[in-house]
Chains A and B, each alone.
Chain A
Amino acid sequence: MTVAIVSYGVNNIGSVRRALVDLGADVVLAEHHDALAGADRVVLPGVGAFGEAMARLRAGGWVDALRRLVPQGRPLLGICLGMQMLADSSDENGTHDGLGLIAGRVRRLDALGCSLRIPHVGWNDVEYHGASPLFAKIPQGTDFYFVHSYAFEVGLPDTVRATTAYDVPLVASVQREHVFGTQFHPEKSSRAGRQVLKNFLDYGRC
């Protein structure tokens, strides 16, 4: 099982890499989109600002390469900002186009009705909606580690697979077919996060 981590100049992919290696994956740090060709799975991490991250993806030719994964049926997991970039657009510091893989828009927490401290940082419990392969074997209400000031507002309700309660419910995970996203950081969510990554590796495996 080869997993490519999209390496487009964002910080801190060491712990994602380590977690996937520990789970038995052959991990490729993809510095160029050509490196996605041989991957069975693709992970899109992300830290920082939406506009700048999308600009880096565009400049590196990643946008088309990532979109091609959908018709090819290869699973993709976006983490944190990586999940947000699956959306159509974001309002972070102006309006920016996303990858458009899961219908929706990324908005600041206060624009979503949140009146608590921003960013939402820390361990928060997650409620799953319907069957989500990412949360197999993980009890309802398990805590995951979040760090974010913006959240995904989905266009199609059935793409929400999990939410977390701050003062308003926030989207914690999305899925459309084999495109997955987690707002939380599985690589920083200890054993439960490790299980999410394992579930991603196991998804669709015969």
Chain B
Amino acid sequence: MLKVRVIPTLLWKDVGLVKGVRFDSWRRVGPVLPAIKVYNSRDVDELILLDITASGDGRAPDHESVSDFADACSVPLTVGGGIRTVEHIAALLRAGADKIAVNTALYEAPEVVNEAARQFGSQCVVASIDVRRAGDGLHVCVSRSGSRDTGCQPLDVAREAVERGAGEILLTSVDRDGTMTGYDIDLLRSLSALPVPVIASGGAGTYADLVAAVCAGGASAVAAASMFHFTEQTPAGAKAALRDAGVPVRHQFAGAVSQS
């Protein structure tokens, strides 16, 4: 049986990791490579690394740095930020990313999803969808690190991305991001009928939030940043809590082999 995954999200800005609140007020968290090594040593299920300023700056992804990160990563690594072309994707996969996450390009160059799925397979194409609640309370998708209102509805964007070949959805609530007040369960539920896995993102503060994302929101994976960066809660603790709630999670293997 496939397992529900617990995924630390690493936000990469300039030379280090940061974490903000609602895509703003960035706090420095530390350098990237040591964080990847720590999470690896803690036997996490997967890592997501997003360059949060690449699209805004019009930069291509830094595949040379990604190569160093990927070599140190013994779990699947998803990389996003600034991806606009299939060449960007090819360079990141060559550098060792297992999956790539496309966000702004979903709105501005969506055919890159088709081409990436055709060349590299749907399993490595993640559609990253950032969502805010508008004044009327309805969900609307935003791009360019949350700075641009696309006017699109999350379900429409997700369906189109899946039709184009995306194999997974990373669904982030910008309003909840960094607040540690819980995921937007309504948002998750609105996408739960999709035929691909949905990764819940934005708002995790406690283990109970992770359980809710899976049991009430229908998520296949839960991503969290602040909770792991700034509290004493750990990915291993998160999995224990999910297991106690009856969610199938990967057992930690306390093997004899140490990892550097």
Chain B contact residues (Cβ within 8 angstroms of A): what range?
35 or more
User: B3 touching A195 by the CB < 8 A rule?
Assistant: no
User: B76 touching A145 by the CB < 8 A rule?
Assistant: yes
User: A191 touching B255 by the CB < 8 A rule?
Assistant: yes
User: B253 touching A192 by the CB < 8 A rule?
Assistant: yes
Q: How far is the CA of A18 from the CA of B76 in the complex (A)?
A: 14
Q: How far is the CA of A197 from the CA of B96 in the complex (A)?
A: 19
User: B75 touching A190 by the CB < 8 A rule?
Assistant: yes
Q: How far is the CA of A193 from the CA of B250 in the complex (A)?
A: 13
Across the interface, which residues of B come within 8 angstroms of A176, CB to CB?
none
Q: How far is the CA of A193 from the CA of B254 in the complex (A)?
A: 12
Pick the contact of B2 from A12, A123, A137 — CB < 8 Å?
A123
User: A119 touching B123 by the CB < 8 A rule?
Assistant: yes
Query: A27 → chain B, closest Cβ, in Å?
Result: 12
Pick the contact of A11 from B76, B94, B254 — CB < 8 Å?
B94
Chain A window 4-33, contacts with chain B (Cβ cutoff 8 Å), 1 for yes, 0 for no: 000000011011011100110000000000
- Nearest residue in B to A124 (C-beta to C-beta)? B2
Chain A window 105-124, contacts with chain B (Cβ cutoff 8 Å), 1 for yes, 0 for no: 00000000000010111111
User: B74 touching A124 by the CB < 8 A rule?
Assistant: no
Across the interface, which residues of B come within 8 angstroms of A124, CB to CB?
1-3
Chain B window 89-117, contacts with chain A (Cβ cutoff 8 Å), 1 for yes, 0 for no: 00001111010000000000000000000
- Nearest residue in A to B90 (C-beta to C-beta)? A11
Across the interface, which residues of A come within 8 angstroms of B136, CB to CB?
none
Total interface residues on A, using CB and 8 Å?
Answer: 38
Pick the contact of B257 from A141, A143, A194 — CB < 8 Å?
A194
Q: How far is the CA of A14 from the CA of B202 in the complex (A)?
A: 31
Pick the contact of B3 from A22, A137, A143, A147 — CB < 8 Å?
A143
User: A191 touching B70 by the CB < 8 A rule?
Assistant: no
Q: A124-B1, A124-B3, A143-B3 are in contact. Are A195 and B257 (CB under 8 A)?
A: yes
Q: How far is the CA of A18 from the CA of B40 in the complex (A)?
A: 13
Q: How far is the CA of A124 from the CA of B249 in the complex (A)?
A: 9
Q: How far is the CA of A121 from the CA of B46 in the complex (A)?
A: 12
Residue among B121, B123, B257, B259 facing the most chain A CB atoms (10 A cut-off): B257
Q: How far is the CA of A17 from the CA of B71 in the complex (A)?
A: 8
Q: A143-B250, A195-B255 are in contact. Are A15 and B96 (CB under 8 A)?
A: yes
- List of 10 A-B pairs having minimum Cβ-Cβ separation, nearest first: A192-B253, A143-B250, A122-B2, A14-B71, A123-B3, A191-B255, A14-B96, A123-B250, A195-B255, A194-B257
Give 28 CB contacts A-B under 8 Å.
Answer: A11-B93, A12-B93, A14-B67, A14-B95, A15-B70, A18-B71, A18-B74, A19-B74, A117-B195, A119-B121, A119-B122, A120-B2, A121-B123, A123-B3, A124-B1, A124-B3, A138-B255, A141-B251, A142-B253, A143-B250, A143-B251, A165-B1, A188-B74, A188-B75, A190-B44, A190-B259, A191-B253, A191-B259
A residues lining the B interface (CB < 8 Å): 11-12, 14-15, 17-19, 22-23, 117, 119-125, 137-139, 141-143, 145, 147, 149, 165-166, 187-195, 198
